[in-house]
Structure 1
Amino acid sequence: MNDLQVEIKRIRTPREARRVEQILSRRPGIVSVSASAGTLQLKWDAEKTNKSAVLKDVEKSGVEILHTKSKDEETEYHDHEHIPAYLRFLGENTELYFAITSGVFWVAGVVSGFISGIPPNIPMILYIIGGFFGGFFTFITAGQDILRGKFEIDFLMLFAAVGAGALGKWGEGALLLFLFSLGHALEHYAMKRARKSIAALSDLTPPVALVKRNGEVVEVPVQQLDLGDIIVVKPNSIIAADGVVVMGNSAVNQAPITGESVPVDKRAHKEWRLQEEVSKLSAEHRVFAGTINGSGVLEVKVLKKSKDSTLARLITLVKEAETQKSPTQHLADNFEKYYVPIVLLVVLLLLGAFLVIDETFKQSFYRAMSVLIAASPCALAISTPSAVLAGIARAARQGVLIKGGRPLEDLGGLQAIAFDKTGTLTEGKPTLTNAIPFGDTTKAHLLEVAVAVEGLSDHPLAAAIVAGGEKELGRTDITPAGNLQALTARGIRADWRGTTVHVGNRRLFEELTGEKVPAEIDREMSQLETGGHTAMIIHQGDKYLGIISVMDVARPEAIATLAALKKMGIKRMIMLTGDNQKVANAIAESIGITDPLGSLLPEEKVKAIERLKLEVGNVAMVGDGVNDAPAMARSTVGIAMGAAGSDVALETADIALMADKLDNLPFAIGLSRKAKQIIKQNLIISLGMVAILVPLTIVGAVAIGPAVVGHEGSTLVVVLNALRLLRYEQK
């Protein structure tokens, strides 16, 4: 159960408060809600919903959110560090300092025992001092647990150490507390290191921005930026908000958000209007909060408030990802639920062993303490979460957002991957692919005519023809045509240099000439159309000039990515598209797709995913997170492309490729497989050590000292093993 405090704009009447409470109490996953003048107190079930969904429900209830604070965020410092206020001057590593001090006194006690002439009580005093430093934070945690009605591992270890001291085994008790405190300190250090990549995100946005207002440039806190504000971004400074470049050119380092290693060139988009969709912006015009400007000065129009920026959403989702448990972690939690009571029952039975067998109570008590230490599930408790957190942190550095332990584990077990075509396997926008002249027409003249006429058209294909033609000609000063006329479902006509030009399909020219187009042109167009191209005939006066074609071309990295996936053992790679089957086949053949499925409606994509799950098992769906959202939701793992530009992608998908880079997919799958391997290793180490130590301590073959070393040693091993994920590199 999670607690959340939400600061809201003032509720004016008790009736309004009750209305908000009634609305929210009916939302799935929300257990309780209390509304007052300026705050909401919520409890929500992490198994049924997440923080992002809860906040959406709050907004839907009609109140405006000003600030949020989770109890787990508020107490995380104390829960993890247990540092009293009077010790915080020592810094965040105080627990580690206490553990080392404990070890120093324990070693001093051992050494003093071998020095002749030392009073016999000196080693005991040194052990007690060592035990004090080693058990300091353990005592605090155990006390907090008892006040909450829980008996956790810290209480068991403290009880075992006190029991060892009561038996006169001061050295063993001090050793237990020293190693346990050292293990805790290193565990916290390791987890902090794993969170470092995530926590650093919060520091990316500058506190203030330079804003143009009333003809002057003034400093404004980023929280006060309004939509439409123009912010000035100086060279080598951090961009303060998501927006569109309206003035200037520069190269921007987007690695903090997208993981791209190479700076991306940005230039002004002077015709941008705020009411247009943000998702329509191309990468060269759009910038993100938290990215770093290069050597040029940029002026950026703010398109999203700070709380809605890509960076803010990324931070929220990554924090939520930390709370989402993996299947293995759920299994371990369920195991511990029954395991701990069984251990306590066994220990109680062993305490009474002297009543059954020929030994003293002291011997029975000693054995019981040894078993308690050996059976405590410290290593098991930390084995999975440490690996999951390290895996999520490593993925974030690469520009891959993995939203929890479940998708991290599921990704490595995929048997098939389904891809949307447009924007996923292809660039998502048409490109000029061919210019084929006929007769004595030159290619340059064919392109010049095409650019002159299409430059007047607002058709999506026209922009591709103009951009591609100007690039190939190496000039932009082409005289535009005049008197443009759209010919519905056939093409266009225009006047250019005293002649009439027509650009269109076969039907247009059959109507103009009263006969079929020349066989050579028809044959060439058929070949292009079979290959998935959209072909158009260009005709000037009474002469056929040739053919131009456009196509949504495959991403440059698509072929290499699919080949890498095949090498990793993904045998079926399916393409789901609304384009006709002929286009789907052409794209599939060129990039290595095994199963192209064309002419699909969104609901048919869902059926295709469900059919694949029945045929092969675990299936991922890779799409843009908008049209493909239903199919992504039904797949084993939903993977969003272009998540830096799509709100829907971040909300729908389990995994988001923030850099819009398809070639990060093999990396993510490889990381998942490595994480599963490390989790399995950790479980074997933790359960294996228990399986070895418990029988040996029950029969008395292992004393408290070796049990302590084995128990705490296994905890350190699983944490260090999990940290290897932070250095994972794709082979």
Structure 2
Amino acid sequence: MGKFLRIDLPILLPDVSDAADACVERLIAALRDQQGIEEVHIHTEGDGAPGQLCVHYDPDTLPLARIRELVAAAGATITERFGHGLWQVEGITHQRRAQTVADHLRALPGVLEAEASAAGTVRVEFDRQQVAESEIREALAQLGVHPRHEAGEPVHKHDEDSDHQHGGIFGANTELIFALICGGLLTTGFAMEKLLAPPGWLPLACYFGAYFFGGFYTIREAFQNLKLKRFEIDTLMLVAAAGAAALGAWAEGALLLFLFSLGHSLEHYAMGRAKRAIEALAELAPETARVRRDGEVREIGVQELVLGDVVLVRPNERLPADGFVVSGETSVNQAPVTGESVPVDKRPVPDRAQASARPDLLDAAYRVFAGTINGAGAIEIAVTKRASESALARVVKMVSEAETRKSPTQRFTDRFERIFVPAVLATAVLLLFAWVVVDEPFRDSFYRAMAVLVAASPCALAIATPSAILSGVARAARGGVLIKGGAPLEKLGSLDALAFDKTGTLTEGRPRITDVLPAPGVDETELLATAVAVEALSDHPLARAIAQDGVERLGGATLPVASGLRSLTGKGVVAQVEGESVEIGKAEMFGSDGMPALTEPVATAVEQLRAEGRTTMAVRRAGRDLGVIGLMDTPRATARPALERLRAIGINRMIMISGDNQRVADAVAKHVGLDEAWGDLMPEDKVEAIRKLRDTTEVAMVGDGVNDAPAMAHATVGIAMGAAGSDVALETADVALMADDLSHLPFAVELSRRTRAIIRQNLFISLGIVALLVPATILGLGIGPAVAAHEGSTLVVVFNALRLLAYRERRFEPDGFERRH
């Protein structure tokens, strides 16, 4: 493990004074479950000093940015002292340049972590007590790297002007134009030398010019590398070109620089396509919005919108903000954010005050997202999130951050390069002395050594994995799936098994009351009124169902006042109603932990309802059993087709894990087409179930990202559904399905498998070319052909990876034929 982080608890949880508080315990449990965490504990200095949370972690496996997300999901924050920068930048044109920038930033005092991607994203985690953000920006400027805007912000005209300013004398295409000028001068000099009889200085002047334009960017990169005491591909190319000039082979040296600079610039162009795929997401939201303020309609910038503003949206316009509908009916194309192929009908909320208080609990029929496209109806929406906090902005930011998170294969290639490059240098030094053993002039030995340096440089290897990860993450985001980096993208394709939570995943998550069975001598109204009063205080899906359906059944009857709700996780709740104790929960809650068992009539009613596949909630008030309420959650219509597609692509084992009793679990599993269902599981039992599965296979946990967070943390990959409407799901999961739709899961798994296949192809190409070129150059292949093959393999690798941007989902129709969508 490489690093540890120590944070004062009052900063993490300002309202918690005791290190033994349950909130601290939950935070520690959430972190300890993560891969890449070695230990989490409380550190105290004594003498009344505040406790500190000490986290020992591996930054390669679990970057600090991910720890930040998990801490936020647990209701805490680490932003007081530890800063976080995520910028879209100009000046990073290829993967080796990105690596140089990242290494330079890591060398700054106070920088905890730094990563950069070839698509122009820089992520920095830093300690504000040691370094300021302005100092980091200044260090970037010294490298010729200039932040344009925070990741997730829209790219406007001034950003494009910045592109031109920072790209060079010819704008963003300066490197390509310099490479072409180099090629023109090389061709002119070579033609004059071979076809004409000019003065000797004239072709030489052309070659000098070719060296200048071909080596301009290479020299800059090599200089930065040498300052970091790194001997990279750019330095090797310059050494080889200088060696060719020293031997009088000016044309060959200029050819080397031309091909190398042309390869770099084309790589920059190709990676720009993936970069634009990310930026296209940020540009989905409009720049302005029409808002009703002080009785009149004004047009303002989306950044000026505040919570509660009412925005007017015309037919066929893009929505400028997240919110809920307060007037008008329409259908909204949510594909840009959630990937849903069918527009979703929207209507006004019945109670605006209640919707404003808890917008995260609203049904999809009322909620809207920035960047989605309105249909034929004019609507008015109440803003619930600022522009920088919208689901779209958060997705763009997380996708940008995901670009910088390395996959296991990329970490392997980085380690391989650290061993391989010194070995190549040692081989080249030995070949310099080949003239001692072989009867040849030193000139030939020197030339051969330079050719080997060029041939063995792992240029294609450096970009093989990052280009595929970048393209895969971008393509997934366009399809409504957020994948947080290379590691979950690769792991998703290695899965052998999937574990599904029941409620809200395989079922709609909107259970309805089906049965109300009072105990002998108890009135149905008393049973329902007591249950509704208590459950109205809870956010649990079953509690909301009882509260909503119960009110309808009571028909306006007066409800008692409940207070002091306390949740018994996985069992039920207890509260006070008019001074009397009320317990509501599973039958198993009664008869344990000192609580008397249910009376025989109520216990019999529970068994009767469970035999019919119902979820049951028993109600007791002041020690008297009032009866039992039966509920049923409708299985999702998309669940069975999605599971069938998962089987078709090779996921053979799928298990439902549920807190419901085994009979209810079996009934739902049979309905959706699952063979295995594990019921009667408490949250800790779900964690243990995932642990057992991980002992024998690679397994993902699919849930809602809230109650299932501990089980997700123990799985190979945690997958959350409906993340567009849930901040916690976005923070918790490794993979987030933005739509509340299980049918996107097969797409994510198959895209991951395709990405893994392309990564393997790229590694085979990059290592294969090196394996062929090294012996070929030792046996006499010249520098020109070697660098042509070398740069050619780099371009093949990049364009192979970019095929992922055009990936189309496979679907298997009932006739057995494959279709692509």
Task: Please tell me the TM-score bracket, short chain as reference.
Answer: 0.7 to 0.9
Letter matched to residue 798 of structure 2: V
User: What residue is the counterpart of 2:734 in the other structure?
Assistant: 654
For the residue of structure 2 that corresponds to 1:622, the secondary structure is: strand
Q: Does 1:316 align with 2:330?
A: no
Can you give the 5+ residue segments of structure 1 that lack an aligned partner in the other structure?
3-21, 31-43, 435-454, 470-479, 487-515, 517-521, 537-547
What per-residue deviation string (whole Å, max 9, x for no partner) do you get for residues 116-166 of structure 1? 556666554444433332222112222222233332211111111121122
The equivalent position to 1:598 in structure 2, one of 657, 665, 679, is 679
Report which stretch shifted further, 151-160 or 399-408: 151-160
- Contact kept, 8 Å, 1:557 with 1:662, in 2: the verdict is yes
In the TM superposition, residue 87 of structure 1 has moved relative to its aligned partner by 6.6
1:610 shift after superposition: 0.4
In structure 2, which of residues 214, 219, 231 is the aligned counterpart of residue 134 of structure 1? 214
2:495 maps to 414
Q: Secondary structure at the match of 1:401?
A: strand
One-letter identity of the residue aligned with 1:382:
I
Alignment partner of 2:739: what SS? coil
Give, in whole Å, the separation in 1 of the partners of 2:551 and 2:261. Answer: 66
Note if contact 2:167-2:173 (Cα within 8 Å) is conserved in structure 1.
no
Q: Is the 8 A contact 1:245 1:301 kept in 2?
A: yes
Please give the alpha-carbon distance, in whole angstroms, between the structure 2 residues aligned to 1:401 and 1:96.
33
Instruction: After superposing the two structures, state which structure 1 stretch, 236-245 or 155-164, moved more.
Output: 236-245
Residue 432 (structure 2) aligns with: 351
Counterpart of 2:168 in 1: which secondary structure? helix
Of residues 340, 344, 347 in structure 2, which corresponds to 1:267? 347
Tell me, yes or no, if the aligned pair for 1:241 and 1:288 is still in contact at 8 Å. Answer: yes
Q: Does 1:429 align with 2:510?
A: yes
Query: Which among 547, 551, 555 is matched to residue 632 of structure 2?
Result: 551
Does the C-alpha gap of structure 1 residues 25 and 318 become closer, same or farther in structure 2, counting only changes over 3 Å?
A: farther
2:179–2:214 contact (8 Å) kept in structure 1: yes
What's the CA shift for 1:88? 3.4
Q: Is the 8 A contact 1:247 1:270 kept in 2?
A: no
Residue by residue over 1:106-125, the C-alpha shift from the partner in whole angstroms, topping out at 9 and shown as x without a partner, is 34445445525566665544
Aligned counterpart for 2:456 among listed residues 359, 370, 375: 375
Mark the CA change 1:238 to 1:409 in structure 2 (over 3 Å): closer, same or farther: same
Please report how far the alpha carbon of residue 692 of structure 1 lies from its aligned counterpart in structure 2 after TM superposition.
Answer: 1.4
| Alpha-carbon separation, structure 2, partners of 1:166 and 1:106 | 17
Check the 8 A contact 1:431/1:468 in 2, yes or no: no
Asked whether the 8 Å contact 2:68–2:78 carries over to 1, the reply is no
Report matched runs for 1:159-178 at 5 Å.
Answer: 159-178=239-258
Structure 1 residue 49 and structure 2 residue 63: aligned? yes
Moved more, 410-419 or 587-596: 587-596
Structure 1 residue 275, shift from structure 2 partner:
5.7
- Give 1:551 shift: 3.0
Contact 1:198 1:318 in 2 (8 A): yes
Q: Report the number of matched residues.
A: 623
- Looking at structure 2, the residues matched to 632 and 646 of structure 1 have their Cα atoms a distance apart, in angstroms, of 16
One-letter amino acid of the counterpart of residue 330, structure 2: S
2:473 is equivalent to residue 392 of structure 1: yes
CA contact (8 A) 1:50 1:320 kept: no
Compared with structure 1, are the counterparts of its residues 350 and 532 closer, same or farther at alpha carbon in structure 2 (3 Å cutoff)?
same
Structure 1 residues 167, 416: CA separation in 2 closer, same or farther (over 3 Å shift)?
Answer: same
Q: Classify 1:61/1:387 alpha carbon distance in 2 versus 1 (closer, same or farther; 3 Å).
A: closer
The alignment status of 1:206 with 2:220, answered yes or no, reads: no
1:415-494 matched pairs, under 5 angstroms: 415-430=496-511
Question: Quick one: distance in 1 between partners of 2:458 and 2:640?
Answer: 47
- How far the C-alpha of 1:323 sits from its partner, in A, is 1.0
Which residue number corresponds to residue 271 of structure 2? 191
1:287 paired to 2:301: no
| Bigger shift: residues 352-361 or 321-330 | 352-361
Compared CA separation, residues 319 and 46, structure 1 to 2 (3 A): farther
Q: Which residue of 2 aligns with 1:513?
A: none
Q: 1:89 to 1:254 in 2, by over 3 A?
A: farther
Do structure 1's residue 628 and structure 2's residue 708 form an aligned pair? yes
In structure 1, the partner of 2:750 is 670
Conserved? CA contact 1:401–1:657, under 8 Å: yes
TM-score by length of 1: 0.77
Within 5 A, what are the aligned runs for 1:17-36? 28=55
Q: Offset at 1:534?
A: 6.7
Deviations 1:337-370 (A, max 9, x none): 1111111121122222223332221111101101
Distance 1:433 1:123, change over 3 A: farther
Classify 1:24/1:190 alpha carbon distance in 2 versus 1 (closer, same or farther; 3 Å).
farther
Q: How far apart in 1 are the matches of 2:713 and 2:552?
A: 38
1:610 aligns with 2:691: yes
Q: Secondary structure at the match of 1:245?
A: strand
Deviation at 1:61, TM superposition (A): 6.2
- State the one-letter code of the partner of 2:807: Y
Counterparts of 2:56 and 2:372, CA distance in 1: 36
- Using the TM superposition, give the Cα deviation of residue 684 of structure 1 relative to its aligned residue in structure 2, in angstroms: 1.1
The 1:150/1:637 distance shift into structure 2, 3 A limit, reads same
1:207-261 deviation digits (Å, cap 9, x = unpaired): 4433333222334443343322222223333322221111111222222211223
Q: Which residue of 2 aligns with 1:713?
A: 792
- Equivalent of 1:242 in 319, 322, 327: 322
Deviation track 1:405-433 (CA, whole Å, cap 9, x = no partner) reads 01111111111000011111111113699
**Secondary structure in 1 aligned to 2:183?**
helix
Structure 2 equivalent of residue 364 of structure 1: 445
- Rounded Cα–Cα distance in structure 2 between residues aligned with 1:637 and 1:531: 34
* TM alignment of 1:62-211, pairs within 5 A: 69-70=85-86, 73=89, 76=92, 88=168, 90-115=170-195, 117=197, 123-211=203-291
Structure 1 stretch 592-601 or stretch 297-306: which is displaced more? 297-306
Aligned-partner residue type, residue 558 of structure 1: A
Between the aligned partners of 1:535 and 1:328, the Cα distance in structure 2 is: 48
Any gaps of 5 or more consecutive residues in structure 2?
Answer: 4-48, 99-117, 121-143, 145-162, 516-531, 537-542, 561-600, 618-628, 811-821
Do structure 1's residue 230 and structure 2's residue 310 form an aligned pair?
Answer: yes
- Cα 1:239–1:160 change in 2 (3 A) is same
The alpha-carbon deviation at position 653 of structure 1 amounts to 0.9
Q: Give 1:68 deviation, angstroms.
A: 6.7
Give the distance between the partners of 1:482 and 1:305, measured in 2 at CA: 38
**How much does 1:482 deviate?**
7.4
Cα distance in 1, alignment partners of residues 166 and 63 from structure 2: 38
CA distance in 2, matches of 1:588, 1:258: 26
Residue 722 of structure 1: which of 779, 801, 804 is its match? Answer: 801
Residues 274 and 303, structure 1, Cα contact 8 Å, conserved in 2: no
SS in 2 for 1:92: helix
Secondary structure at the residue paired with 1:93? helix
User: One-letter code of the match for 2:785?
Assistant: P
Structure 2 Cα separation of the partners of residues 431 and 677 of structure 1:
45
Q: CA contact under 8 A between 1:374 and 1:697: conserved in structure 2? A: yes
Is contact 1:29–1:49 with CA below 8 Å preserved after alignment? no
Aligned to 2:648: 567
- Tell me if structure 2 keeps the 8 A contact 1:411–1:637: yes
In percent, how many aligned pairs have the same letter? 52
C-alpha distance in 1 between matches for 2:426 and 2:555: 91
When structure 1 is superposed on structure 2, of 70-79 and 382-391 the one drifting more is 70-79
Aligned partners of 2:195, 2:50: CA distance in 1, in Å?
Answer: 74
Give the letter for the 2:433 counterpart. G
Structure label with greater radius of gyration: 1
